[in-house]
């Protein structure tokens, strides 16, 4: 049964905003037709009509970088940092990611699922229909698989498309202190192989940083990903410039993420590899970082920029993708058009998905209907969620 959307402003995201004031027909889980109502083909004459009251419609948003499967919270660490400790100092003192690892290991799969579903619901309520989720708070073979299974289960229990990413190379657990190479060999690579064998993952990520894994260690993991035919992406240049983006580009990475400290060589490498730069202003904001990612250089080099929440308990307890868009504009001087491209078209590309991120014939019928008239309003508002309704796979949410 087809549905016809009329009396709306469609930001198709085809060539900029691609604003279209007309009608759109959805059939099954695909966009079937776009045009002026007067030109509606006879075969759609019986489509169920929805008058959208002049509202803005965009492709449903895509959050291409999150870490929502975890237990506990880090409010105490927030307080420590406000009292002067840095993110790296907290991490070195056994807090930070490792405190979440302790809580996550202790949680049962059911507890973890319940906590993670609540976070997925927050994201969905913000107009998102495709979400990437990473593991990375288990750091043992069994615990990483537990997180990945929970991530997959979210996609079965909720109206959302998931892409699941293996991130065992997120932090060095205490039992491998000063033995990061052994961790790569004994946990990261075996859990990658096991997760792939179980069909749990779509991509492989790592945290390339002085407080985490070196480029040489990441490369060993990426070689296994390559052997398994899995695409890679990388947490690169978040706190320092280890040339992670250059490494990622050598593996034709889907994306390099964070990249506050990326230099000109990284920009050039991403441009020639066709990788996406994933901008994560929530972590920048939370850590009170002052080094801004090289937005102007990325723009000049034609590197597609995505914007994501990075939703995680430490550096970005941020559930709202439209707030991330606001931060990308206000903190990094991205334009509202770039911010919306970053959560639609370019976010799709960052996940290797060509069937979404635009409103065009043949694209997935995942749409967001907003209490707004112009797409810049999505980036402009702070703290309100202007979602009016969401369509997932051709159906309005109940
Ligand atoms: N960089 C981040 O911002 C998150 N992971 C990473 O590699 C933070 C994760 C955390 O602090 O729990
Ligand atoms: Fe992250």
Q: At what angle do helices 189-197 and 215-228 cross, to 10 degrees?
A: 20
User: Which residue's C-alpha comes closest to atom 6 of ligand 1?
Assistant: 207
Beta carbons of 125 and 143 less than 8 angstroms apart: no
| Distance of CA 70 from the midpoint of ligand 2 (Å) | 13
For ligand 1, pick from 85, 211, 315, 324 the residue to mutate: most ligand atoms within 8 Å of CB. 315
| Distance of CA 219 from the midpoint of ligand 1 (Å) | 20
Cα-to-chain-centroid distance, residue 281: 12
Class for the domain spanning 3-60+358-396: mainly beta
Beta carbons of 133 and 158 less than 8 angstroms apart: no
Residues with CB under 6 A from ligand 1: 67, 96-97, 100, 170, 207, 235, 238, 283, 310, 312-315
| Distance of CA 394 from the midpoint of ligand 2 (Å) | 31
Instruction: Please state, as a whole number, how many other Cβ atoms lie within 10 Å of the Cβ of residue 46.
Output: 10
Domain assignments of the chain as residue spans, ordered by start = 3-60+358-396, 61-350
Strand order from edge to edge, sheet including 387-392: 30-35, 19-27, 3-11, 48-59, 367-370, 387-392, 395-396
| Distance of CA 235 from the midpoint of ligand 2 (Å) | 6
Query: What is the chain's percent helix, strand, coil content, to nearest 5?
Result: 40, 25, 35
Class for the domain spanning 61-350: alpha beta
| Distance of CA 177 from the midpoint of ligand 1 (Å) | 18
How confident is the model at residue 391, as a pLDDT?
98
How confident is the model at residue 92, as a pLDDT?
80
CA distances from 127 to 120, 131, 160, 335, 386 (A): 11, 11, 10, 20, 9
Nearest alpha-carbon partner for 67 in 205, 272, 226 = 205
Atom number in ligand 1 closest to CA 96 = 11
How confident is the model at residue 91, as a pLDDT?
83
Backbone Cα Rg of the chain? 21
pLDDT, one tens digit per residue, over 253-285 is 999 999 999 999 999 999 999 999 999 999 999
Residues 6+ apart with CB under 8 A from 330: none
Q: What are phi and psi of 194, to 5 degrees?
A: -65, -40
pTM as predicted: 0.98
> How far is the C-alpha of 337 from the C-alpha of 197, rounded, in Å?
40
Q: Which ligand is nearest to the CA of 208?
A: 1
For ligand 1, pick from 72, 312, 313 the residue to mutate: most ligand atoms within 8 Å of CB. 312
| Distance of CA 66 from the midpoint of ligand 2 (Å) | 6
User: Which residue's C-alpha comes closest to atom 11 of ligand 1?
Assistant: 314
How confident is the model at residue 6, as a pLDDT?
98
In which element (H, E) is residue 59 found?
strand 48-59
How confident is the model at residue 88, as a pLDDT?
85
Beta carbons of 257 and 236 less than 8 angstroms apart: yes
Atom number in ligand 1 closest to CA 170 = 7
| Distance of CA 315 from the midpoint of ligand 1 (Å) | 6
For ligand 1, pick from 71, 279, 308, 310 the residue to mutate: most ligand atoms within 8 Å of CB. 310
Nearest alpha-carbon partner for 168 in 154, 178, 156, 180 = 180
How confident is the model at residue 1, as a pLDDT?
84
Look up tokens 């079965």; give the residue.
156
> How far is the C-alpha of 262 from the C-alpha of 259, rounded, in Å?
5
Nearest alpha-carbon partner for 279 in 304, 302, 305, 297 = 305
Strand order from edge to edge, sheet including 276-279: 61-63, 128-134, 161-169, 203-208, 233-236, 255-258, 276-279, 305-307
> How far is the C-alpha of 145 from the C-alpha of 308, rounded, in Å?
24
User: Which residue's C-alpha comes closest to atom 2 of ligand 1?
Assistant: 315
Atom number in ligand 1 closest to CA 235 = 7
The residues of the chain scoring below 70 in pLDDT are none
User: Which residue's C-alpha comes closest to atom 8 of ligand 1?
Assistant: 315
């Amino acid at each position: 049964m087809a549905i016809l959307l009329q009396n709306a402003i469609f930001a198709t995201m085809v060539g900029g905003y691609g604003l279209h004031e007309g009608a759109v027909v959805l059939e099954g889980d695909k966009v079937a037709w776009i045009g002026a109502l007067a030109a509606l083909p006879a075969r759609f004459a019986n489509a169920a009509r929805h008058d959208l009251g002049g509202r803005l419609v965009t492709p449903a948003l895509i959050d291409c970088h999150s870490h929502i499967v975890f237990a506990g919270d880090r409010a105490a660490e927030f307080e420590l940092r406000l009292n002067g400790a840095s993110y790296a100092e907290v991490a070195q003192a056994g807090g930070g990611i490792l405190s979440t690892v302790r809580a996550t290991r202790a949680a049962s799969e059911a507890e973890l699922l319940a906590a993670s579903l609540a976070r997925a619901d927050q994201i969905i309520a913000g107009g998102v229909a495709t979400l990437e989720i990473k593991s990375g708070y288990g750091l043992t073979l069994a615990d990483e698989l537990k997180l990945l299974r929970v991530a997959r289960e979210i996609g079965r229990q909720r109206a959302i498309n998931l892409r699941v990413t293996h991130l065992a190379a997120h932090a060095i657990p205490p039992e491998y202190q000063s033995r990061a190479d052994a961790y790569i060999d004994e946990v990261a690579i075996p859990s990658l192989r096991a997760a792939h064998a179980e069909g749990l993952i779509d991509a492989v990520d790592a945290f390339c940083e002085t407080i985490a894994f070196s480029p040489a260690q990441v490369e060993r993991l990426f070689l296994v990903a390559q052997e398994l035919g899995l695409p890679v992406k990388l947490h690169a240049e978040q706190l320092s410039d280890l040339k992670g983006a250059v490494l990622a580009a050598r593996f034709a990475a889907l994306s390099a993420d964070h990249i506050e400290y990326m230099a000109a060589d990284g920009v050039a490498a991403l441009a020639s590899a066709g990788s996406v730069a994933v901008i994560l202003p929530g972590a920048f904001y939370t850590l009170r970082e002052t080094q801004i990612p090289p937005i102007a250089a990325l723009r000049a080099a034609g590197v597609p920029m995505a914007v994501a929440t990075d939703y995680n308990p430490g550096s970005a307890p941020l559930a709202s993708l439209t707030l991330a868009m606001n931060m990308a504009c206000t903190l990094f001087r991205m334009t509202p058009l770039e911010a919306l491209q970053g959560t639609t078209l370019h976010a799709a590309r960052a996940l290797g998905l060509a069937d979404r991120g635009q409103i065009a014939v043949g694209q997935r019928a995942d749409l967001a209907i907003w209490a707004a008239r112009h797409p810049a309003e999505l980036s402009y508002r702070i703290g309100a969620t202007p979602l009016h309704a969401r369509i997932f796979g051709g159906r309005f949410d109940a």
